[in-house]
Structure 1
Amino acid sequence: MKKPNVLWIFGDQLRAQALGLNKDPNVRTPEIDRLAQEGVHFNSAVAGTPWCTPFRGALLTGIYPHRSGIRGNHDGLPESIPTIAHSLKANGYRTCWIGKWHLAGRNQGNAESVEEPSKDSLRIIPNHRRGGFEDWFAYENNNKPFDCWVHTDREDSTTESFRVPGYETDGLTDLLINWIEKRTRTDDEKPFFAALSVQPPHSPYEAPAEDLRRHPANSILFRPNVPDVGWVREQAGRELSGYYAAVERLDWNLGRIREALDRLGIKEHTYIVFFSDHGDMHGSHGQFRKSCPWEEAIRIPFIIGGPDRLPGVSAVTDALINHVDIAPTTLGLCGIPTPGGMEGYDYSGIVTGRVHRKQQEAPDSAYLSLVVPSNVRDGMDRPFRGIVTRDRWKYVVLEQQPWLLFNLNDDPYEQVNLAHIRRYHHIREPLHQRLLQWAAHTEDAFPFPTL
């Protein structure tokens, strides 16, 4: 029996809260909502390290950032670590990466530029730095969604760079659909895996004019934890206008992809895994961007759709799928065992109904980290470690210092920090011990506080 195809479709900085299915009043996402209704919605998914490159490294390798060496945005994907692409190719899959890579590293001889070595949007990533992916239409990093350049390989093995027409999300979706059509037409018997990685809704929060018109800044409804401070709300409203427009454009393109799968007759044989690399604060707690442990930064959409949901399979699960779990789960959808080097958990049984004989009990919590301080203006200036539990507690520490403790059941907007209140020490202590267990399990040498 032919193995299923799999697509990863993910935007950059798309927080879970910014979807219609999660009741955000500012946005309409009918295609994402429909994918969740017809598939399985992991409504508690987290970006354990809510920062671009460390997340992407964990996504591809199934290894925590403090162990893989992919700790910050300047670190490259080590050639010595196998990725999900290597496992898929070894099991008969054709693989393709389209869009943002952000794993080439800096000052390591890991990439070359067609013009300026410092300009990530034009850097050419050599074949041996592509994580094992065979087909390639990618760029390292870019913050100009109307001026997106990608590079690919010609048949003569030389590299071609070209500008994607129009808006990035539209143009990269065209490339994915064209690639799927070609694969279906030329090699129908070989299953495929493709990743579509788009920069929007990442800053600078731009989108086509017809989408922007639906979201004037003065109509934005803020989350309750956005303080009533003039400059915070002014910036949040201005940026959310473009953000929501970009989210809706991604939603529309998801619909285009699903229509193409249906037209090609492979919709019921292709899993779509829809997610994001992390969220975006947009003024909550007076914070902006990512790399911090609050809900708006760590919670991501995670939906697996495609083939009809099996009888008895729930449409919603609170399983705490983390960045390191995505590769094992994807391989599980394909019936491929988790490679020994991957640290994550395979949640595919929730979708397929298959229970693996050696499948361990699902984690009761997810491990959070920022291994090195962020190097961006609005980023965290110190590392942290933390956990979020399935019964909805969150506990976070700085080096030698407890920091945050929230009961997300009655305080979903994290407005009451219980970390330093004596009456909650009986809650803090077992969470601290569980955090230390995670550190020991993942061989993390972080300097934890002594309570």
Structure 2
Amino acid sequence: MNAIWIFGDQHPAHALSCNGNVNLQTPEIDRLAAEGVNFTRAVSGSPLCCPFRGSLITSLYPHECVPGHQDPMPQNVPTVANAFAAEGYETAYFGKWHLDGFKENFDRRGAMHIIPRERRGGFDTWIGYENNNSQWDCWVHGHMEDGSNVEHHLLPGYESDCLTDYMIDFLKQRDSKQNKPFFAVLSVQPPHNPNVAPPEYMEKHKPEDLKLRPNVPNIPGVLERTRRDLSGAYAQIENLDWNVGRIRKALEETGLDKDTVILFFSDHGDMHGSHGQHYKTCPWEESVRVPFIISGPARLTQQGGRKSDAVINHVDIAPTTLGLCGLTVPTWMRGYDYSPIYLDDREQLPEMPDSAFLQIVVPTCHADSTDRAWRGIVTTDGWKYVVLEHQPWLMFNLNDDPYELANMAHNTRYKVERKRLHDRLVQWIRETGDTFTMPEI
């Protein structure tokens, strides 16, 4: 079985038409959900680019691998590419990396940084960049499977389109009758800001026409920025959706669709004005809740188009992918293998986690970022609990309050529930070897 990851940057779970958003149409991603399993409670355990990506590639928690923004992934840490290669897979990566520790500023642009080959995660083919934030001015470099260099060059068009071209070329070079399976990754910057897309997508979304989430406050400055940013973000997502369709078409044309599973997700979300906040790093739903869809050959699932409430986390993606391919999960991976939910149409699995562990280990200096370290959990029974050092912060019953309008963290009526959640969070911190000063309650 082959496996493909497709993921964007800063794409919240609610920003898909299959998840009920009326502002955009994502027919290709909807088709993935209609033919697979949509994990509606999936989270980014660390809603910040570099920590998420380190955990994604290694299945280790941020405090064990990449704790903060622009921190480098340790050289000696094994990766998901190593795990697949050990099983005889060909591996390929296309797009944003953000794991080399390059310190970007106004005079030092990440897109111009050349990542040494030994810092590219062990992928056989790797064509990408450290960081970009300029979708019409995207530079890439890398190497091919045969060892030849891909010289640093400017992509000839919009980033998502050109990176998808690389993925399609890779697929067309595979023969469906070859014995060597593959694991390939497409990592695009959109819908990360700046929120620009090709004109045919931008012109479809007028800021004044958008329906906003109920938790966006009626404050003029917030509303104006939210509408402006969202109109571009929705255009970017619809363009990404078109590229998902291109990849699916290439799989069908090569016959690889019969033996390839696709995992679609994001590194984190974007607040887009909810609670008056913007961007990421905070623990509210718009920041931590991400799309996560598994889709592939119909023979793998008896019922397409179902949803799962499993709280799959960022560290679980690599082991789940290995499980989907029938491979053994290495003991060094921290995450849980959720593949039987897809493969066997099961919802309850042995020793399945009852919650997902959330962290911002090192606060960033980004504008609109949370300037405190925090820890939290999201539970399978619908609760979220988040603490700062020495201080309970947030507690929501997401079943009754999906927009997180009623914070119960300091409500005496919920002291017993808070104690249960607090103790579980303490357990997560101890079991993962994290260090954090928990509050007394």
TM-score by length of 2: 0.96
Residue 31 of structure 2 corresponds to 34
CA distance in 2, matches of 1:249, 1:427: 43
Partner letter of residue 163 of structure 2? L
Q: Secondary structure at the match of 1:184?
A: coil
CA distance in 2, matches of 1:383, 1:73: 13
Q: Secondary structure at the match of 1:54?
A: helix
Measure how far apart 1:158 and its partner are. Answer: 4.1
Residue 286 of structure 2 corresponds to 296
Preserved CA contact (<8 Å) 1:117 1:123: no
Cα distance change on mapping 1:90 and 1:285 into 2, 3 Å: same
CA distance in 2, matches of 1:41, 1:409: 18
Cα distance change on mapping 1:99 and 1:363 into 2, 3 Å: same
Q: Secondary structure at the match of 2:375?
A: strand
Residue 11 of structure 1 corresponds to 8
> Runs of 4 or more off by more than 4 Å in structure 1?
none
Cα distance change on mapping 1:299 and 1:412 into 2, 3 Å: same
CA distance in 1, matches of 2:175, 2:53: 28
Residue 180 of structure 1 corresponds to 171
Preserved CA contact (<8 Å) 1:77 1:131: no
Residue 256 of structure 1 corresponds to 246
CA distance in 1, matches of 2:148, 2:202: 41
The 5 Å alignment of 1:67-216 reads 67-68=64-65, 70-106=66-102, 118-153=108-143, 157-184=148-175, 188-216=178-206
Measure how far apart 1:183 and its partner are. Answer: 2.5
CA distance in 2, matches of 1:258, 1:317: 23
Gaps in structure 2 of 5+ consecutive residues: none
1:375-412 C-alpha deviation (Å, 9 max, x unpaired): 20111101000001111111000001000011111111
CA distance in 2, matches of 1:246, 1:259: 20
Preserved CA contact (<8 Å) 1:142 1:148: yes
Partner letter of residue 18 of structure 2? L
Preserved CA contact (<8 Å) 2:94 2:166: yes
Partner letter of residue 48 of structure 1? G
Q: Secondary structure at the match of 2:151?
A: strand
Q: Secondary structure at the match of 2:175?
A: helix
Residue 334 of structure 1 corresponds to 325
Partner letter of residue 226 of structure 2? A
Cα distance change on mapping 1:289 and 1:174 into 2, 3 Å: same
Preserved CA contact (<8 Å) 2:33 2:305: no
CA distance in 1, matches of 2:407, 2:138: 42
CA distance in 2, matches of 1:274, 1:293: 22
Measure how far apart 1:188 and its partner are. Answer: 2.2
Give 2:375's match in structure 1, choosing from 359, 368, 385: 385
Matched, 1:324 2:315: yes
Preserved CA contact (<8 Å) 2:117 2:142: no
CA distance in 2, matches of 1:152, 1:189: 26
Cα distance change on mapping 1:313 and 1:363 into 2, 3 Å: farther
Residue 345 of structure 1 corresponds to 336
TM-score by length of 1: 0.94
Cα distance change on mapping 1:36 and 1:156 into 2, 3 Å: closer
CA distance in 2, matches of 1:158, 1:369: 37
Partner letter of residue 37 of structure 2? V
1:250-284 C-alpha deviation (Å, 9 max, x unpaired): 00110111011001111121001000000000000
The 5 Å alignment of 1:284-433 reads 284-308=274-298, 309-311=300-302, 315-353=306-344, 360-433=350-423
RMSD, aligned α-carbons? 1.7
CA distance in 1, matches of 2:339, 2:434: 27
Preserved CA contact (<8 Å) 1:313 1:351: no
1:67-118 C-alpha deviation (Å, 9 max, x unpaired): 22x01122111111100000100101000110000001136xxx9xxxx982
